Amino acid sequence: MSVRQRRTLPRLLGAALLLAAAGISCVGAAPLSHSAADSTTRPLGQVVPVPASVTPAGQPYTLTSATRIRIDEDSRDSRAVADYLAGILRPSTGLSLRVVDQDEARGGIRLRLSGTEKSLGDEGYRLQSGRDGVTLTAHRPTGLFRGVQTLRQQLPAAVEKRTRQPGPWKVAGGTITDTPRYAYRGAMLDVSRHFFTVEQVKRYIDQLALYKINKLHLHLSDDQGWRIAIDSWPRLATYGGSTQVGGGPGGHYTKADYKEIVRYAASRHQEVVPEIDLPGHTNAALASYAELNCDGVAPPLYTGTAVGFSSLCVPKDITYDFVDDVIRELAALTPGKYLHIGGDEAHSTTHEDYVAFMEKVQPIVAKYGKTVVGWHQLTGAVPAKGALAQYWGLDRTSPAEKEQVAAAARNGTGLILSPADRVYLDMKYTKDTKLGLAWAGYVEVQRSYDWNPAAYLPGAPAEAVKGVEAPLWTETISENAHIDQMAFPRLPGVAELGWSPAATHDWEAYKTRLAAQGPRFEALGIDYYRSPQVPWPAAR
Ligand code: TNX
């Protein structure tokens, strides 16, 4: 299917949905009404993120009591993906969907790992669907997992419910071949301003998985709370983690808790990127250990929302013993490649001290085998070779600051794009949004979707852009429902910017596909923001 055809199809579907919402029925492949939409086959490729290539053809596949999930013999990774898929499909369909070796059945859903399909890369997959079955092919297990998300979204939204639902369960016929635009597609959760339990983090991980996000960045320390146990400095967690914004009890992850988050993220093919924010945003640490302060006096714990008032003591040797211990212990808990050292808003650190600090600290990250990520202020020092800078500027950021980041990018520093006035999930949608902040302006759904990461930062080469990330700062966010309201529906748009080819970018087409996610959010219990910019199907 050509790009042009791919882009026309969503428009036609959008028109059909609008007609349906108005109670006008039409004949054809498109849904006739919302309730019919749920039991009608979703056109191939009407998913988020939109696949790179979609070729509808032939008959749909219908799941039945005879359907098996077939895997290659001896592949533990395929079995894990198969069990995950079965776990999603069984409660709603009521089907047994036994996982079997591929030779034990025919047709059905086949998960196939192929050593020769190298062009699918680490995360790509091919989905072939027809009357006899659905085959997902990938070069790596992660590709199968990403393909499963597409398969899930091809099925009616009710498949996401945890109780038995009426079928039929059809997957449109044809072929999807799909690989990501960017290798880094992240979401950040600030567990410092408000603490979130392991269960809450897992819930978010599951939501991110549906949109093919592959990095979970955890902001583990800030002025208001230190959230990870460090054995060599125990008071960081026990005292520094004992409160949060507003003065609640806070909390921290034991090492076992943290390993469980990392394990769970890995089971959803996500890499955890831990962040210890340095040298600013460190009041919780400074309050826990008087000796870390230049004057030797520990400040009180902090439960407000100001930024930029704290700094580690750059000239003191003990500062680097502290940083070495923390990074060593955190790196040991981190199977992933990256370790984020923050570096933002160090307004209480002089420029000279900041540069000196980063010069000493970045080699510590390398010593423990990790690659540095820092907020883009890191480009005001000398970023280590291979480091990534996370750009969180906005339209009104000064040309000089933008150029500093662009120059670093031209010099080999990779960029993760998180422009605050586009993808900060804590920004209010409009003046009426109850939660969130507005310092970067209001960010409605279209604004968060409608930009091009490759051409966003003037003077930065497109190849320097390694991906996108949507941060969720939590000064005003303390419950699952708050996460839902702010992340949905903006997060799927950021996920699409990270995954889908630039040629597919089209707000009109996207908003129709996003609208179709509404019933899925509901089935998943996600309390999303009903943006008036999106033609959500009429409520039943
Ligand atoms: C800026 S973005 C911050 C955070 C705040 C956030 C609130 C960044 C690197 N620093 O400390 O939580 O704004 O939107």
Give the Cα separation of 371 and 435 in Å (integer). Answer: 34
In a domain, 523, yes or no: no
489 and 352 co-located in one domain: yes
**pLDDT reported for residue 4:** 38
Q: How confident is the model at residue 538 (pLDDT cuts 50, 70, 90)?
A: confident
pLDDT in tens, 360-370: 999 999 999 99
Q: Report whether residue 277 contacts ligand 1, using a CB cutoff of 6 Å.
A: no
pLDDT of 481 strictly over 60: yes
User: Has residue 83 been placed in a domain?
Assistant: yes
Same domain membership, residue 135 and residue 284: no
Shared domain for 291 and 145, answered yes or no, is: no
Per-residue pLDDT, 435 = 98
54: its two tokens: 């979609």
Q: What's the gap in Å between 473 CA and the centre of ligand 1? A: 7
Is the same domain home to 295 and 156?
A: no
Residue 10 has pLDDT above 50, yes or no: no
Which residue has a Cα nearest atom 13 of ligand 1? 473
The pLDDT value recorded for residue 540 is 54
Q: For residue 434, name the pLDDT band (cuts at 50, 70, 90).
A: very high
> Average pLDDT, stretch 41-69?
98
Specify the ligand 1 atom closest to the Cα of 344.
9
Q: Among the atoms of ligand 1, which is closest to the Cα of residue 345?
A: 10
Average the pLDDT over 377-398 and give the result: 97
Residue 452 lies in a domain: yes
- Coil, helix or strand at residue 141: helix
Q: Which of 34, 163, 40 is nearest to 519 (CA)?
A: 34
Q: Is pLDDT at 18 greater than 50 in this prediction?
A: no
Please say if the pLDDT value at position 477 is more than 90.
Answer: yes
Instruction: Find the CATH number of the domain harbouring 320.
Output: 3.20.20.80
Q: Whose CA is nearest to atom 2 of ligand 1?
A: 392
CA–CA dist 192, 473 (Å, integer): 9
3-state secondary structure of 242: coil
Report whether residue 308 contacts ligand 1, using a CB cutoff of 6 Å: no
Atom 10 of ligand 1, nearest CA residue: 344
Atom 9 of ligand 1, residue of closest alpha carbon: 344
Token pair belonging to 64? 């039945």
Q: For all residues of the chain together, what is the average pLDDT?
A: 93
Residue 456 beta carbon below 6 angstroms from any ligand 1 atom: no
- Is 237 inside any structural domain? yes
Q: Are residues 229 and 320 in the same domain?
A: yes
CA of 106 to the centre of ligand 1 (A): 53
Asked whether residue 31 is domain-assigned, the answer is yes
What whole-number distance in Å separates Cα of residue 210 and Cα of residue 205?
9
pLDDT of residue 183: 98
Q: Are residues 145 and 197 in the same domain?
A: no
391 CB within 6 A, ligand 1: no
CA of 446 to the centre of ligand 1 (A): 22
- Answer whether residue 168 is part of any domain: yes
pLDDT-derived band at 20, boundaries 50, 70, 90: very low
Q: Are residues 334 and 461 in the same domain?
A: yes
Partnered with residue 215 across adjacent β-strands are: 186, 271
Compute, in angstroms, the gap from residue 278 CA to the centroid of ligand 1: 13
Q: Which of 146, 178, 210 is the last residue of a domain?
A: 178
pLDDT at 32 over 80: no
Residue 261 has pLDDT above 70, yes or no: yes
Distance 303 CA to ligand 1 centre (A): 15
Contacts of 77 (CB under 8 A, 6+ apart): 113, 141, 144
Count how many domains the chain has: 2
Residues 298 and 387 in one domain: yes
Domain contains 511: no
Choose one of 190, 344, 443 to mutate for the ligand 1 pocket test, by most ligand atoms within 8 angstroms of C-beta.
344
pLDDT in tens, 70-119: 999 888 999 999 999 999 999 999 999 999 999 999 999 999 999 999 99
- Which of 104, 199, 345, 469 does the annotation list as catalytic? 345
Answer yes or no: do 329 and 406 share one domain. Answer: yes
CA angle 119, 122, 124 (to 5 degrees): 60
Report the nearest-CA residue for atom 4 of ligand 1: 473
The CATH code of the domain that includes 62 is 3.30.379.10
**CB atoms closer than 10 angstroms to residue 320:** 15
What's the rounded mean pLDDT across residues 447-453?
Answer: 98
Q: Of the candidates 119, 144, 178, which is a domain's last residue? A: 178
**In the predicted model, is pLDDT for residue 192 greater than 80?**
yes
Among 524, 525, 518, residue whose Cα is nearest residue 21: 518
466/358 same-domain check: yes
Kindly state the helix (H) or strand (E) to which residue 101 belongs, with its residue range: strand 99-101
The rounded Å distance from CA 468 to ligand 1 centre is 16
Check if 401 is active-site: no
The answer on 153 and 253 residing in a single domain is no
345 in contact with ligand 1, CB cutoff 6 A: yes
What is the rounded average pLDDT of the residues 500-525?
A: 98
DSSP string, 112-130: EE-TT-GGGTTT-EEEEEE
Average pLDDT for 481-507: 98
> Whose C-alpha lies nearest to ligand 1, atom 7?
473
Q: How far is the CA of 506 from the centre of ligand 1 (A)?
A: 29
Mutate to test the pocket of ligand 1, among 190, 473, 477, 478 (most ligand atoms within 8 A of CB): 473
Q: Is it the case that residue 8 has pLDDT exceeding 60?
A: no
Domain boundary among 160, 178, 196: 178
For residue 189, give the H/E element and its range.
strand 184-190
Q: How many CB atoms lie within 10 A of CB 163?
A: 8
| Cα–ligand 1 centroid distance for 322 (angstroms) | 24
Task: State mean pLDDT over 130-142.
Answer: 98
User: For residue 345, what pLDDT is reported?
Assistant: 87
| Ligand 1 atom closest to 281 (CA) | 11
Distance in angstroms (rounded) separating the CA atoms of residues 469 and 151: 24
Specify if 425 maps to a domain.
yes
Same domain, 373 and 447: yes
Give φ, ψ of 203 to 5 degrees: -60, -40
Q: Which atom of ligand 1 is nearest to the CA of 390?
A: 9
Q: 94 is in which domain, residue-wise?
A: 26-178
User: Nearest to residue 121, comparing CAs of 60, 180, 42, 194?
Assistant: 180
Ligand 1 within 6 A of 426 CB?
Answer: yes
CA 280, 286, 292, 298 dihedral sign is positive
Determine which residue's CA is closest to atom 8 belonging to ligand 1.
344
pLDDT in tens, 275-327: 999 999 999 999 999 999 999 999 999 999 999 999 999 999 999 999 999 99
